[in-house]
Amino acid sequence: MKRIVPVVLMLSATIAFGQKLLRVMPSSTLAPFVNAHSQKPEPNTKSLGVTLWSDNFDNAANWTIDNDGQAGIEFGWNINNVSDGWWSANGISSTGGGNYAELVNGDPTVTPGTQATGITYTLTTVNPINIAALGGTNHICLEFEQFGARFNDLQEIQISTNGNTWTTVGNNLDKPVLSQAGGSAYANPDLKSINLAPILPANPGNLWVRFSWTTNFPSQAANANVWITYGWYIDNVKIKTNPTNDLSVTSKYWGTAGLNYYQIPVTQTAEIDFEIDVFNGGINAQPGVDYNISVNAGVFTASSSTVNVPSLDTVTLTVINPFTPSGLGNYSVVHTLGADSTDDVPANNSIANTNFTVTNYIYARDNGTAVGSTSNGPDGFESGNLYDIWNEQELKGINVRMLGGANGTSVGTEVFVKLYSLDVNTGDFVFESESDPLIVSASDLNVNKMMALNVPVTLQSNTTYLAVIGSAGTGLRVSNAGTSTPQTSFFFDYADQTWYYQTSTPWVRLNFDPIIGLNENASSIGAVVYPNPANDVLNIKADFKGAASVQGAIYNHLGAVVAELNFTSSSAVQSQQVAIGNLAPGMYVVKLQSEEGVATKHFVKK
């Protein structure tokens, strides 16, 4: 079963200057679609689609340009054979050559902040395309070549059947953001195809096509940065009949209880499920469709049930027998989609291999390839991932990776790691432990850095935990590696004291290595205080490591005792709640002491 965590906010963490999105509701889970399996006959080859209409921009009069009141070649759409924008010298390398359409919005490199704001630029076919007269039905697709790169753009493709009401049928939000933190431009050219059959009536008449550009962050429209664009180039627009047979894989899921791990401690191995969504965009129904996996070249194989997929339907195929890793080592899973008919467009149903490792001690959600980073502008934040625990185990440390370089984490930034448990009844994150602050040095950047928890935590079986790295300052940049399904990786914004989910995966890992902390003095005290700042109640958690005599107190800024703390001798990890509502606002110190060690922790009373 896939996970839905009751935290319903989202953060886009791929933009260099940090952005937050509107509140969204969690998406619903997809129920498996299962039928009986049958032997496949020999496949039959079917024909590809044909072009009904095309336009390569050789005649600019075929298109209506609305540049929202902006004038000049550097603002809005233009049609010619020259790249007029600041970003690409040569424009699109389209297969037809000649003219192409180009979207521009100022030049931020010459005069930053002068890009037009509050605008929407559109490029629309002047004349309707009569699908029926061209011999077509609703089984058609819109195809075009494009080039560009996405920053804060909302690049949409729209259609209309009356010339007035417009329906968005596609966008480029699946493309990675290109920023100082990473990302890439589109392929040049990038061929995009959008199946219009699910949207059009059975016997469509006229059709208009529109390309629309605006910002993807209207809630921040006053910020000139959200109107920056590298440019969007369009050429060779076509309306084509759909292929006869065209299955496409629209999503892939693998993991345990909704979470996928690229490194799994041998103590936390569990059943791994595999599932895909398959869309039939072809004209014909597709019989005998199934989904198959092979682990480590056939050491383990499994399949879904076989189903019939009607035209324009989507089904979810789930492998019937989950896979459980058997021990330490690397695992490679090959995925294949089977069908009775030969697919006319096989490129859109190929599925990348899944690779993960069973380790001694490391539990990792990130894929190990650092791309981009999470930051929060001038505000402090925490960022990390959920982890499910299947067997009780003591956690002593958390591994993190902080981005280095010119646009990375600032040397001298104070950072920490924290561990929270998840309250399944409320959806709240409950504080468990944290590390001492780390003052970042150059050697801490772009490496897999282990940070020990002040107080080790015995993680309970069948419990979910959140591990984060954070900073109250402005200099932290957390490396991201891979993507997370919504509500499985999280971001806490210190400015508005709100948890958001993020879809990039922070490099924040659990480390169960038992030797962590063994080089410390056995009689030293580990302690954490929370929340910080505190208002009415302060929680104190300490590891006295079985000391014979222990004591503690809270001191004000003058060094006077304002509260005595009562801990039990000869007991290791202990927790205590202290009422502090009567204390004056300000800075205080918690001091804990045993016969051979002292720990001091500062906190702020609000």
Fold of 51-241: Jelly Rolls (2.60.120)
pLDDT score at 181: 63
* Structure-block tokens of residue 348: 């859109």
pTM of the model as a whole: 0.76
- What is the Cα Rg of the chain in Å? 29
pLDDT score at 570: 63
- Check the CA dihedral 343-348-349-353 and report its sign: positive
Measured in whole angstroms, the distance separating CA 211 from the mean position of its chain's CA atoms is 26
Stated length of the chain:
606
Whether the Cβ atoms of residue 113 and residue 223 lie closer than 8 Å to each other: no
Question: Per residue, what are the HEC states of 365-390?
Answer: CCCCCCCCEECCCCCCEEEEEEEEEC
Region 526-605: CATH code: 2.60.40.3080
- Check the CA dihedral 107-113-116-120 and report its sign: positive
Whether the Cβ atoms of residue 243 and residue 197 lie closer than 8 Å to each other: no
* The two domains 366-511 and 526-605 share their CATH topology (first three levels equal): no
| Half-sphere exposure for 457 (CA within 13 Å, toward CB) | 29
Fold of 366-511: Jelly Rolls (2.60.120)
* Structure-block tokens of residue 464: 């979910």
pLDDT score at 527: 85
What class does CATH assign to 247-359?
A: mainly beta
pLDDT score at 340: 96
Residue 181 CB partners (closer than 8 Å, separation 6+): 14, 16, 372, 373, 403, 407, 477
| Sheet (strand 273-280) strand order | 247-255, 273-280, 314-318
Question: Per residue, what are the HEC states of 195-249?
Answer: ECCCCCCCCCCEEEEEEEEEECCHHHCCCHHHHCCCCEEEEEEEEEECCCCCEEE
Whether the Cβ atoms of residue 150 and residue 172 lie closer than 8 Å to each other: yes
Domain ranges in the chain are: 51-241, 247-359, 366-511, 526-605
Reply yes or no: is the peptide bond before residue 506 cis, omega within 30 of 0: no
pLDDT score at 421: 96
CA pair distance 333, 293, nearest whole angstrom:
6
Whether the Cβ atoms of residue 132 and residue 203 lie closer than 8 Å to each other: yes
Max intra-chain CA distance, the chain:
93
CA pair distance 119, 104, nearest whole angstrom:
12
- Single-letter residue type at 43: P
DSSP 93: -
pLDDT score at 48: 65
Whether the Cβ atoms of residue 557 and residue 587 lie closer than 8 Å to each other: yes
Taking the chain (606 residues) in runs of 10, the rounded mean pLDDT of each run is 41 33 24 26 49 97 98 96 94 93 93 88 98 93 97 96 96 87 88 95 94 93 91 97 95 96 97 97 96 97 98 97 96 97 92 97 96 88 97 96 93 96 91 93 96 93 97 94 93 92 94 76 72 89 80 85 84 86 90 81 85
CA pair distance 590, 63, nearest whole angstrom:
71
Tell me how far CA of residue 497 lies from CA of 382, 437, 500, 580, in angstroms: 11, 20, 10, 21
- Single-letter residue type at 172: N
Whether the Cβ atoms of residue 30 and residue 253 lie closer than 8 Å to each other: no
Question: Which has the closest alpha carbon to 43: 331, 289, 259, 365?
Answer: 289
Measured in whole angstroms, the distance separating CA 181 from the mean position of its chain's CA atoms is 15
CA pair distance 339, 516, nearest whole angstrom:
52
